[in-house]
């Protein structure tokens, strides 16, 4: 008997099986009917521009109760449509959209618990519509204060859309995190590492602290190991705590931002030993969309200011009306230490070195002392939203860089099956039958092709560094040709055979003795025998592995011939491998348990 009918039976005290069945069926019908009623109780409609009649995407609708408390929030789709659950408590709705007049509406009469409300929003003729506000008493009196706060209220409508989007219709996202070390105070990238998130997430970027913590403690955390700086996200900027602690003023984009207007925010109070931010949120007045936030850190050491520590957050309006953070970065200053030697006495000098804390000659006339000197450098840690996909099938792809590499052998033949990867990144690919490898979603910056591997060399745990470097740019492709060493060329180099060698001398054995983890084993003795009907015919040729674990046999073999490779080391019973030459090169990986 189903558990539901058992509970009903216990409560009602029914004694007959027919009665139990009837009650169970009735209960299921009631639950089903209630579910249909709950699903049907909703407010639907379409939001349009009052002048053009064009559907408005990305408008935020907040259902409120009689006290004004928010019950539900939803976004309009690219067709301007919305669907919001409508419970008994919902009595009014507030609608906001960046660039439009906010609107408050009463919920119309319900039919079977549901209602429909189509309406229009009035586009603001200017984004600088003044509003009356009570500013922080520590903020200076400015003529543009009312206009600045009006623009901030518009910006908050856009920020609210980013928050509601990830709650209403979360997307699956692939994010790429990069860390760049810069050259001095310039923007030239000295080195870069990239990693992909270990799992596909539904949020592109979240601040590490709440708005309350930022207001209270600032945008820096110091520990015994390191100093960490933080950046704000949409939730932080949207909060009342943030608005109450900062002063706002208008900012002009100038020629660099001809269609944009900015709202600058600064801390109302600067505190000692605290890192804060001075930032500007930029709005596209034509598209009526958030563009980005840029900020610099305040309260840093004066010698760090030349490195321009700060950050950037970029917004992207998606086709379905949602707004996501598609890029972010934080530029911080790190410290490294050099050892500096100072030598005093006759002929004294200053130089660098390593070693102890002091040196002196027997006469005591010259003394060298060691000191540590700190050196500053800039790093940029950032994130890129590479892809986003929604349950309805919509997919968005970022315009990142692409590498198209042609991998060839030394004789120009495509090195199909070769593995190509980039230093310090998760990017890799396998060459197809034409030798082509294409790596996509490259974060802009410099890369080095680290490993191009002949599949047979991969069996021996050998990767080959290459001199190929390139710089990826946004929405562009780089073409490169990479010559990959083959197992044959490695064997020929180790055999060091002259060009006049016979054809028989080109049939070789290339092997490597390793531990299970790939660590090479030195001092292993390797001997070879030809397989014959009367038993192995051992040869005088022997090989002893060096630090890299490799061994070779370079003479007198034939394709199709059977061979025994015997490996012995340190009193361990020898390992005999029975193999056959299927091609001019026999690759032999040997694994020995430690």
Q: Are residue 419 and residue 548 in the same domain, yes or no?
A: no
Of residues 366 and 482, more confidently modeled: 482
Q: Is residue 533 part of a domain?
A: yes
Of residues 449 and 168, more confidently modeled: 449
pLDDT at 567 over 90: yes
For 256-305, what is each residue's pLDDT tens digit?
Answer: 999 999 999 999 988 888 899 999 999 998 899 999 999 999 998 888 99
DSSP sequence for 348-362: -EEEE--S-SEEE-T
Q: Are residue 479 and residue 538 in the same domain, yes or no?
A: no
- The pLDDT value given to residue 340: 65
Q: Is residue 582 part of a domain?
A: yes
Give the end of a domain, one of 125, 159, 191: 125
What is d(CA 199, CA 207) in angstroms, rounded to the nearest whole number? Answer: 19
Q: Are residue 191 and residue 62 in the same domain, yes or no?
A: no
Q: Is residue 323 part of a domain?
A: yes
Q: Is residue 365 part of a domain?
A: no
Give the end of a domain, one of 483, 513, 529: 483
Q: Are residue 281 and residue 217 in the same domain, yes or no?
A: yes
Q: How confident is the model at residue 367 (pLDDT cuts 50, 70, 90)?
A: low
Q: Is residue 357 part of a domain?
A: no
Q: Are residue 478 and residue 578 in the same domain, yes or no?
A: no
Q: Are residue 319 and residue 434 in the same domain, yes or no?
A: no
- The pLDDT value given to residue 373: 73
Give the end of a domain, one of 483, 500, 527: 483
Choice among 19-28, 42-51, 202-211, 394-403 with the minimum mean pLDDT: 19-28
Q: Is residue 341 part of a domain?
A: no
- Which of 382, 260, 259, 394 lies closest to 318, judged by CA? 394
Residue 66 belongs to domain with CATH number: 2.60.40.1120
What is d(CA 248, CA 267) in angstroms, rounded to the nearest whole number? Answer: 9
- The pLDDT value given to residue 31: 43
Q: Is residue 412 part of a domain?
A: yes
pLDDT at 114 over 90: no
| Beta-bridge partner residues of 70 | 64
First to last CA, the chain: 61
pLDDT at 534 over 80: yes
Q: Are residue 168 and residue 28 in the same domain, yes or no?
A: no
pLDDT at 323 over 60: yes
For 526, the token pair is: 């390797």
pLDDT at 572 over 60: yes
Residue 436 belongs to domain with CATH number: 2.60.40.10
Choice among 38-47, 67-76, 244-253, 468-477 with the minimum mean pLDDT: 38-47
- The pLDDT value given to residue 25: 43
- The pLDDT value given to residue 379: 93
pLDDT at 445 over 90: yes
Kindly state the average pLDDT of the residues 318-336.
88
Choice among 175-179, 248-252, 342-346 with the minimum mean pLDDT: 342-346
Please name the residues in contact with 407: beta carbons below 8 A apart, sequence gap of 6 or more.
Answer: 414, 415, 418, 420, 431, 435, 436, 437, 452, 482, 484
pLDDT at 380 over 60: yes
Kindly state the average pLDDT of the residues 96-115.
91
- The pLDDT value given to residue 327: 94
Domain that holds residue 114: 42-125
Q: Are residue 300 and residue 403 in the same domain, yes or no?
A: no
Kindly state the average pLDDT of the residues 153-157.
90
- The pLDDT value given to residue 341: 64
Q: Are residue 229 and residue 295 in the same domain, yes or no?
A: yes
Q: Are residue 436 and residue 472 in the same domain, yes or no?
A: yes
pLDDT at 144 over 70: yes
For 421-442, what is each residue's pLDDT tens digit?
Answer: 998 899 999 999 999 999 999 9
- Which of 443, 453, 430 lies closest to 399, judged by CA? 443
- The pLDDT value given to residue 32: 45
Kindly state the average pLDDT of the residues 458-466.
77
Q: Are residue 559 and residue 525 in the same domain, yes or no?
A: yes
- The pLDDT value given to residue 10: 28
Q: Is residue 136 part of a domain?
A: no
What is d(CA 218, CA 163) in angstroms, rounded to the nearest whole number? Answer: 23
pLDDT at 546 over 70: yes
80 phi-psi bin (left φ>0, alpha ψ -120 to 50, beta other): left
> 114: helix, coil or strand?
strand
Q: Are residue 406 and residue 432 in the same domain, yes or no?
A: yes
* DSSP tag of 213: H
Task: Please count the structural domains in the chain.
Answer: 5
Sign of CA dihedral 329, 333, 337, 338: positive
């Amino acid at each position: 008997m189903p558990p539901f009918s058992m509970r009903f039976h216990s409560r009602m005290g029914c004694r007959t099986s027919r009665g139990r069945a009837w009650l169970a069926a009735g209960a299921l019908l009631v639950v089903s009917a209630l579910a249909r009623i709950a699903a049907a109780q909703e407010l639907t409609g379409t939001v349009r521009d009052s002048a053009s009649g064009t559907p408005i995407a990305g408008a935020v609708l907040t259902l409120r109760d009689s006290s004004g408390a928010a019950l539900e929030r939803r976004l309009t789709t690219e067709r301007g449509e919305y669907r919001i659950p409508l419970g008994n408590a919902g009595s009014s709705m507030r609608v906001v959209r960046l660039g439009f007049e906010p609107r408050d509406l009463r919920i119309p009469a319900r039919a079977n618990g549901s209602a429909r409300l189509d309406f229009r929003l009035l586009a603001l003729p200017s984004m600088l519509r003044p509003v009356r506000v009570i500013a922080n008493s520590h903020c200076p009196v400015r003529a543009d204060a009312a206009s600045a706060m009006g623009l901030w209220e518009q910006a908050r409508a856009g920020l609210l859309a980013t928050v509601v989007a990830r709650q209403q219709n979360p997307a699956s996202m692939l994010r790429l995190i990069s860390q760049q070390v810069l050259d001095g105070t310039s923007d030239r990238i000295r080195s870069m590492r990239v990693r992909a998130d270990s799992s596909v997430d539904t949020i592109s970027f979240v601040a590490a602290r709440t708005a309350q913590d930022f207001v209270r403690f600032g945008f820096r955390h110091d520990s015994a190991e390191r100093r960490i700086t933080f950046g704000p996200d949409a939730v932080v900027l949207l909060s009342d705590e943030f608005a109450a602690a900062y002063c706002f003023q208008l900012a002009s984009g100038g020629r660099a931002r001809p269609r944009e207007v900015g709202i600058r925010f600064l801390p109302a109070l600067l505190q000692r030993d605290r890192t804060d931010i001075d930032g500007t949120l930029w709005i596209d007045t034509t598209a009526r969309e958030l563009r980005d936030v840029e900020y610099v850190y305040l309260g840093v050491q004066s010698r760090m200011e030349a490195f321009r520590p700060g950050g950037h957050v970029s917004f992207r309006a998606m086709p379905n009306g949602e707004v996501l953070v598609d890029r972010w970065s934080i530029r911080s200053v790190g410290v490294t230490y050099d050892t500096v030697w100072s030598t005093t006495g006759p002929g004294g000098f200053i130089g660098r070195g390593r070693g102890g804390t002091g040196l002196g000659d027997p006469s005591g006339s010259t003394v060298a002392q060691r000191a540590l000197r700190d050196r500053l450098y800039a790093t940029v840690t950032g994130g890129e939203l590479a892809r986003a996909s929604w349950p309805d099938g919509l997919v968005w792809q970022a315009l990142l860089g692409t590498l198209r590499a042609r991998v060839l052998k030394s004789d120009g033949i495509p090195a199909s099956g070769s593995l190509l990867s980039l230093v310090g990144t998760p990017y890799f690919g396998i060459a197809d039958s034409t030798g082509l490898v294409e790596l996509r979603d490259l974060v802009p910056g410099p890369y080095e092709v680290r490993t191009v591997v002949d599949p047979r060399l991969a069996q021996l745990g050998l990767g080959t560094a290459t001199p190929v470097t390139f710089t990826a740019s946004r929405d562009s492709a780089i073409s490169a040709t990479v010559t990959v060493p083959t197992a044959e060329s490695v064997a020929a180099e180790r055999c060091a055979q002259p060009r006049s060698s016979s054809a028989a001398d080109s049939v070789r054995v290339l092997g490597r003795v390793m531990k299970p983890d790939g660590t090479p084993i030195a001092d292993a003795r390797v001997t070879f025998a030809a397989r014959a009907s009367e038993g192995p015919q051992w040869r005088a040729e022997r090989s002893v592995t060096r630090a890299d674990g490799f061994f070779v046999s370079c003479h007198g073999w034939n394709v199709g011939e059977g061979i025994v490779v015997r490996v012995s080391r340190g009193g361990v019973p020898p390992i005999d491998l029975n193999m056959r030459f299927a091609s001019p090169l026999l690759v032999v990986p040997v694994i020995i348990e430690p």
